[in-house]
Amino acid sequence: MTSFNEFDLADMPQRYRANFINSLSGFKSANLIGTQTANGVFNLAVFNSVFHLGANPPLLGMVFRPHTVRRDTLENILETQHYTINHIHKNMIKQAHQTSAKYDKDISEFTAVGLTPEIHGAFPAPYVQESKIKIGLQMREVLPVKSNDTQIMVGEIKEIHLAQQLLSPDGHVELDQAEGIAISGLDTYHLPQLLARFDYATPT
């Protein structure tokens, strides 16, 4: 075992610390966020920060970095109030990662990386056709985090489109059957294999 204290962390080179700290929460979700500008340009961006916030009402959270970098996704959501979350699968990881490149604002990442926008009814944000689990959300609130000037977007799930065979009789979605991805650190993609599903635990 090796140990680091807060002074060791403060002394680390920036990129080293980013890799290190980004690994410490454990495995992360791997999603593509679809939005559109007021002019109808589709935007797509890989996020590893989507997290479950509650089932009733159905809410998901997502972290945005401070306003020192361009944040097209956040600006589009604040403008249109809507966004999509699309799961990343094994056969999409290259394209998904490539959406993190800094393209000009009038270029759609869909076109740039070779993924297909899909529109459902009147929902004002594009889904990713190649994804097997797609979620349409409406913005509910934005939580400012004082400790580091990040913001947490809270969205309510308004619609879900998924491949029927992934849905278990009890509502569980078999992410491993979809070849869903887990991210570690900033840039490392993993394929999770099912180990076990447990019953509700009671004292023994």
Residues 135-174 that bind a copy of itself (CB under 8 A): 135, 140-141, 143, 145-148, 150, 152, 154, 156-164, 167-168, 170-173
11 binds a copy of itself (CB under 8 A): no
Of residues 41 and 167, the one with the C-beta less far from a copy of itself: 167
Beta carbon of residue 193, minimum distance to a copy of itself (angstroms, whole number): 5
Beta carbon of residue 40, minimum distance to a copy of itself (angstroms, whole number): 22
Of residues 37 and 189, the one with the C-beta less far from a copy of itself: 189
Give the length of the chain.
204
How many residues touch a copy of itself under the rule CB under 8 A: the total is 109
Which member of 63, 81, 119, 124 binds a copy of itself (CB under 8 A)?
A: 63
Q: Which residues contact 19 (CB under 8 A, 6 or more apart)?
A: 185, 186
One-letter amino acid of 55? A
Which member of 41, 93, 119, 124 binds a copy of itself (CB under 8 A)?
A: 93
Handedness of CA 12, 45, 175, 188 (dihedral sign): negative
User: 131 near 145, Cβ under 8 Å?
Assistant: no
Residue tagged 């635990």 (tokens):
201
Beta carbon of residue 76, minimum distance to a copy of itself (angstroms, whole number): 19
The pair phi, psi for residue 75, each rounded to 5°, is: -65, -40
Considering only residues 101 to 140 of the shown chain, the ones binding a copy of itself according to CB under 8 A are 101-103, 112, 120, 133, 135, 140
Give the alpha-carbon dihedral of 61, 66, 71, 73, to 10 degrees.
Answer: 10
Considering only residues 169 to 198 of the shown chain, the ones binding a copy of itself according to CB under 8 A are 170-173, 175-176, 180-182, 184-198
Q: Which residues contact 74 (CB under 8 A, 6 or more apart)?
A: 64, 151, 153
* Angle, alpha carbons 150-153-159 (nearest 5°): 160
